Amino acid sequence: MNTLSIRHLYASIGEKPILEDLNLDIPQGEVHAIMGKNGSGKSTLAKVIAGHPDYTVTSGDVLLHGESILGMDPQVRARLGFFLAFQYPMEIPGVTIANFIRAALQARLPEGEELEATDYYAELYAKMDTLGIPRSFTARSVNVGFSGGEKKRCEILQMMMLKPRCALLDETDSGLDIDALKVVASGVNALRSSEIGMLVITHYQRLLDYIVPDRVHVMAAGKIVLSGEKDLALKLEAKGYDWVSA
Amino acid sequence: MNFEKKSEINIDRSLGDFSYDVDYTFDAGVGLSESTIDYICDVKNDPDWVRSFRKEGYRKFLEKPMPTHWATKDLENIVFENIRYYLSQGSIPKRTWEEVPEDVKKTFERLGIPEQERKYLAGVEAQFDSEAAYSNIKAAVGKQGVIFVGSAEGLREHPEIFRKWFGKVIPSGDNKFSALNSAVFSGGSFIYVPPGVKVAHPLQAYFRINAQNFGQFERTLIIADEGAEVVYMEGCTAPKFETATLHSAVVELVALKGAKIQYITVQNWSSNVFNLVTKRGVAYEDAQIKWIDCNIGSRLTMKYPGVVMKGRRARGEVVSIALAGEGQHQDTGAKMIHAADETSSNIISKSISLGSGRATYRGMVHVPKHLKKCKNNTECDALLINTQSRTDTYPAITVRGQGHSVQHEASVSQINEEQIFYMQQRGLSEAAAMSLAVNGFVNDLVEQFPMEYSIELKRLIDLEMEGSVG
Amino acid sequence: MPASTFNFHPLEESTGVGWFQELQKKAWEQFSQLPSPGRHDEAWRFSSIGNIALEGFHQAPPPTDEQSILERSQGITPLAAQLVFGNNRLIHADTSNLPQGVILVSLQEAIKKHEDLFRRYFMKEEARLGSLKLAMLHLSQLKEGVFLYVAPGVVVDKPIEIWHWVQGNRSALFPHTLLVAGAGSHLAVIEHFSSLEEEPLLACSLSDVVAEEKASIHHVTIQDWSPQAVAFHLNTTSVLQEGSATSLQLHRGGHFVRSENDSRLFGKGAKSMMLSIVSAHGAQEFDQRTLQDHLSPEAKSDLLYHNALSDQARTIFSGLIKVQKRAHRTDAYQKVSNLMLSDDAEANSMPGLEILADDVRCTHGATSGELNKEELFYMMARGIDESRAVKLLVRGFFQTVLERLEEPQLKNYLQLLLDHE
């Protein structure tokens, strides 16, 4: 079964087409990477799957575990198990991390059922420890005043807490030093299992040294132009993206 | 994302929206005249000086025009002849809840007052229409010499302190509504904290309007003697009637040398109440007065808590949250009058306008001639939720001389749509995301309220958005 | 200020045009009926207007010293054109270098030769910031003025300079300026308001600036009236779609000066920048009222007013950003700063917002403070004496405003002017 299937996807922002006939399958249990130049449509793909209202899907389909999600609101997609680690995580002043994740988990429970606070905090603290996030951060507003690395860790923390079936990491490596990269990668690797499918969007192959993908796809002009094994990333690094389009 | 399409946003007011039929022993009838005032004086057994104070207030009330040259024309919808100015079951409050008449007791029990008193308050006064039905202070606090009684008892039993300050911070002719209050005032608290006494727990007053077409005119006077400290909290609710109700209080605070007074209000009147309140404090040397003011209810609120900093290094502060929902106008702000060297003041105001709600900030900061090193900092932030929402900011700042530092900043914004999307991606509904964002906007101010109040506030501000998304 | 306290009468001299006379007659009636401004009036809050004597002025007679006026009309160079007025009369005009498509004429000539065009723009916007009575006085007494029209697409690459001089004891002056930048045109204008002598005078000037679609206009005003002047400057700017208007007022002279600046953003994407520098000293009072009226979506307005106050000077700033319903995606900013240089100076600030649309970005700020003591000390430690150091810091305070002016010739000229203070 495919965790994520993208079929002949066309999407645009305003009048401007960005994705054109994009096809991609991520089988359950696999990690795929998408690489590509700036402007190739990588981040658009992430937003379209998440259901960002600025983008219009003009044709094609996106299936999450075989179910079409295109007509759904972002929160419905999220509750079905889709998680997007944002390239630029939003700052939410006045809303603490602890309350935010709690609200997100609560939203996944059936009506009338309350999240067990003690268990929640135990799990939250354990995962923060794994990611090297100080516990004092629970009382801080989501991403407000965080460094680039802290924001990315906070994204991974949310991913670990929300336990998605399908995760998409949009340039999670950008702005991270090597130590932070290792921490983030270990968090991602800890989630790898036969249950989850992951898609990692990145500009550099460096991240793929730590999160080793099952397959690598190259994106250009809104579609996948080349797919291969993980050594494709090394070739790209050596020869540059123009080698693909040539 | 377009929030215009969303259906209404509701604020939970269910808690206060009920009323009981009560038999009033004393009723001044409908409308206002000299004889209404005489009736009130007779029922309350006022001394002569109070009677003449009331008559003087009445004269000034008649003289003063409605301030509609700067304020909203909605004021013209108050029909003074249709209002009942005094309703009570007697003017002596009970000391125990057992003695409080059943129907009145039921009301306060439903509002959770006796329970809160047991849990965390040093004293409670519960006013039902014109008079306090219950007033009690914990024995330990009483032993420290703290006086916490109704205004009538204050003027009868403690005339030497009461008369010295009553009407001195806010002269009866300060404005049309302070004049009206001076004419017909009834209820409210009188508090005196002796030198050096720090009251450990808050004193609380709860104001309840039960009757229709009624005007509530409580009068509160708080004096913190040298080095004393006290926190006073007031809450208020009324049932939602079809007709307009008037609430027009006067609150005077006196913080003597080195004293600290914190006055906390959570105003949740129903949407038929005109809430026109005058609140001001005088802070002497090294004294501090802080108004923490939250306005969620009422049809129209006009309230600009002020501090006159009369002594060196005195400090005044106003922290204000206003939520203007459908059909509401929250016209709030602050007045900071610097009258001594090295005085400092701080104003933080946050407002949220929803639906056709309108939030107005009016501020006055005054630094007169020949003072040294005065400071003021004012920050006003407004959040607009819908296309029909409105916000205004009208500060007036006068600074004379050099060596002062006065700053005012204001901004208007709306909910960040990318923020909402981010939260939705984590699985929150749009309504829940909006609610979180709004709470986040006022969170830093809500945290300044005592714990019990901040939980209540968060619940009140928890917007419930029903229906369609997208 | 009842009509009778002025030594004014409805004008009898004919301009030869019925509609204009009719307008003036109606204006006189309105002036006579309107109540005098007073402090009780919100639009005059904090103003000393009640203490200002407005009687005893008369229409200025022809100037006695045209030679001095011409000699002293030395401003910006190079110029595209220059007009010089003395006591409401045109005494010099050099318009020979203007490009094709530019009309720069006196008001009397505009009425005669460009009647339809002139009428289309003349006095179309009502004075809304408190001085309607004075605007009506202006109109009823109006004799001469400037009409400048730039045809669509024409670029005037050098500034046009206009001088308004006054001479004579208790003269009253009514300068009128109508500037229209047609679609896509570019224009820069500098106006001087100056006194030949230090005698009492009454000035009541009115200017209307129109930037049509995609036009760009810069308008600088240098007010240098006599220290005994009572002056009212009423300015309205209208900006249409994607047009842009920048105004800068430099106020130096006068005893009591009231300036109203009303900017109306009529078109989508319109831009208005309002700048002001006030150097207030002695017993001067500068009373400035502004409005940034957003009537269309996606318009941008920006206001920066800097006042330096010494001696017993007073300033009043009352500004409003108004975002009308449907003016979504408005971007508006307003900031007034008062630099207090003496113990007797007084600054009043009333920055206001009225927002009736959501999805806007509006901020305002007001500060009143003193010179930075550390900066002052630093300069003195370098051997600069205190009064010079203060001057330099004040100059720096003004420079922040000048930096916002994007028109290089006007900016350079103003910098030189302030450097020579």
How many A×B Cβ pairs under 8 Å? 85
Contact A94/B416, CB-based, under 8 Å?
Answer: no
Question: According to the model, what pLDDT value does residue B465 have?
Answer: 39
Confidence band for B470, pLDDT divided at 50, 70 and 90: very low
Question: According to the model, what pLDDT value does residue B145 have?
Answer: 94
Average pLDDT, chain A: 90
**C27 within a domain of the structure (yes/no):** yes
| CA C356 from centre of chain | 28
Q: Give pLDDT tens digits for C55-113.
A: 889 999 999 999 999 999 999 999 999 999 999 999 999 999 999 999 999 999 999 99
The pair of three-digit structure tokens given for residue B24, joined into one six-digit string: 């009033």
CB nearest to C365's CB, from B386, B409, B413: B409
**Arithmetic mean of pLDDT, B66-79:** 93
Q: Which positions 50-79 of B are in contact with C (Cβ < 8 Å)? A: 69-70
Are B301 and B275 within 8 A, CB to CB? yes
**Arithmetic mean of pLDDT, C350-363:** 92
Question: According to the model, what pLDDT value does residue C403 have?
Answer: 92
**Arithmetic mean of pLDDT, C235-247:** 98
pLDDT of B256 above 70 = yes
Q: Does B401 touch chain C (CB under 8 A)?
A: yes
Q: Which residues contact A34 (CB under 8 A, 6 or more apart)?
A: A24, A42, A45, A199, A200, A201, A202, A216, A217, A218, A219, A224
**Arithmetic mean of pLDDT, B176-188:** 96
pLDDT of B7 above 50 = no
**C73 within a domain of the structure (yes/no):** yes
Question: According to the model, what pLDDT value does residue C246 have?
Answer: 98
Q: What residues in chain A have their Cβ under 8 A from chain B's Cβ atoms?
A: 50-53, 73-75, 77-79, 83-84, 86, 89-95, 99-101, 103-104, 107-108, 141, 158, 162
Q: Could you tell me what percent of chain B has a pLDDT over 90?
A: 61
Are A2 and A28 within 8 A, CB to CB? yes
Per-residue buried b or exposed e for C114-145, using 16+ beta carbons within 10 Å of the residue's own CB: eeeebbebbbeeebbbbbbbbbbbbbbbbbbb
pLDDT of A203 above 90 = no
pLDDT of B6 above 60 = no
B75-79, B113-117, B229-233, C321-325: segment of lowest average pLDDT:
B113-117
Question: According to the model, what pLDDT value does residue A27 have?
Answer: 95
**Arithmetic mean of pLDDT, B436-464:** 77
Confidence band for C1, pLDDT divided at 50, 70 and 90: low
**C398 within a domain of the structure (yes/no):** no
Q: Which residues contact A114 (CB under 8 A, 6 or more apart)?
A: A106
Q: Give pLDDT tens digits for C263-276.
A: 999 999 999 999 99
Which H, E and C letters describe chain A, residue by residue? CEEEEEEEEEEEECCEEEEEEEEEEEECCCEEEEEECCCCCHHHHHHHHHCCCCEEEEEEEEEECCEECCCCCHHHHHHCCEEEECCCCCCEEEEEHHHHHHHHHHCCCCCCCCCCHHHHHHHHHHHHHHHCCCHHHHHCEECCCCCHHHHHHHHHHHHHHHCCCEEEEECCCCCCCHHHHHHHHHHHHHHCCCCCEEEEEECCHHHHHCCCCCEEEEEECCEEEEEECCHHHHHHHHHCCHHHHC
Question: According to the model, what pLDDT value does residue C389 have?
Answer: 84
Helices (H), B340-405: none
Owning domain of residue C112: 17-367
Contact B422/A89, CB-based, under 8 Å?
Answer: yes
Mutation for testing the B interface, residue in C353, C360, C371, C386 having most B CBs under 10 Å: C353
Q: Does B440 touch chain A (CB under 8 A)?
A: yes
pLDDT of B146 above 70 = yes
Contact B424/A92, CB-based, under 8 Å?
Answer: no
**Arithmetic mean of pLDDT, B231-241:** 83
How many domains does the structure of chain C reveal? 1
State the residue for tokens 């009575």: C133
Mutation for testing the B interface, residue in A92, A100, A141, A151 having most B CBs under 10 Å: A92
**Arithmetic mean of pLDDT, B335-357:** 96
CB nearest to A94's CB, from B423, B433, B440: B440
Q: Give pLDDT tens digits for B18-27.
A: 777 777 888 8
Question: According to the model, what pLDDT value does residue C173 have?
Answer: 95
Q: Give pLDDT tens digits for C270-324.
A: 999 999 999 999 999 999 999 999 999 999 999 999 999 999 999 999 999 999 9
Question: According to the model, what pLDDT value does residue B105 have?
Answer: 85
Question: According to the model, what pLDDT value does residue C20 have?
Answer: 92
Question: According to the model, what pLDDT value does residue B2 have?
Answer: 37
pLDDT of B466 above 60 = no
Three-state SS at C183: coil
Pairing of strands C361-369, C331-340: parallel
**C319 within a domain of the structure (yes/no):** yes
Question: According to the model, what pLDDT value does residue C6 have?
Answer: 60
Question: According to the model, what pLDDT value does residue A85 have?
Answer: 93
The pair of three-digit structure tokens given for residue C354, joined into one six-digit string: 């009225």
Question: According to the model, what pLDDT value does residue C212 have?
Answer: 97
**C387 within a domain of the structure (yes/no):** no
Contact C355/B390, CB-based, under 8 Å?
Answer: yes
Nearest to B348 by CA among B306, B317, B379: B379
Contact A103/B436, CB-based, under 8 Å?
Answer: yes
Q: Could you tell me what percent of chain C has a pLDDT over 90?
A: 83
pLDDT of B442 above 50 = yes
Give burial (CB, 10 Å; 0-12/13-18/19+) of B10.
Answer: middle
pLDDT of C14 above 70 = no
Average pLDDT, chain C: 93
Three-state SS at B358: strand
Question: According to the model, what pLDDT value does residue B228 have?
Answer: 98
Q: Do chains A and C touch (3 or more CB pairs under 8 A)?
A: no
Confidence band for B1, pLDDT divided at 50, 70 and 90: very low
Peptide bond into A93 cis (omega under 30): no
Mutation for testing the C interface, residue in B399, B405, B411 having most C CBs under 10 Å: B399
Residue bearing the bigger pLDDT, C125 or C10: C125
Question: According to the model, what pLDDT value does residue B464 have?
Answer: 40
Contacts of C356 in chain B (CB under 8 A): 390
Confidence band for B310, pLDDT divided at 50, 70 and 90: very high
Q: Give pLDDT tens digits for C107-145.
A: 999 999 999 999 999 999 899 999 999 999 999 999 999
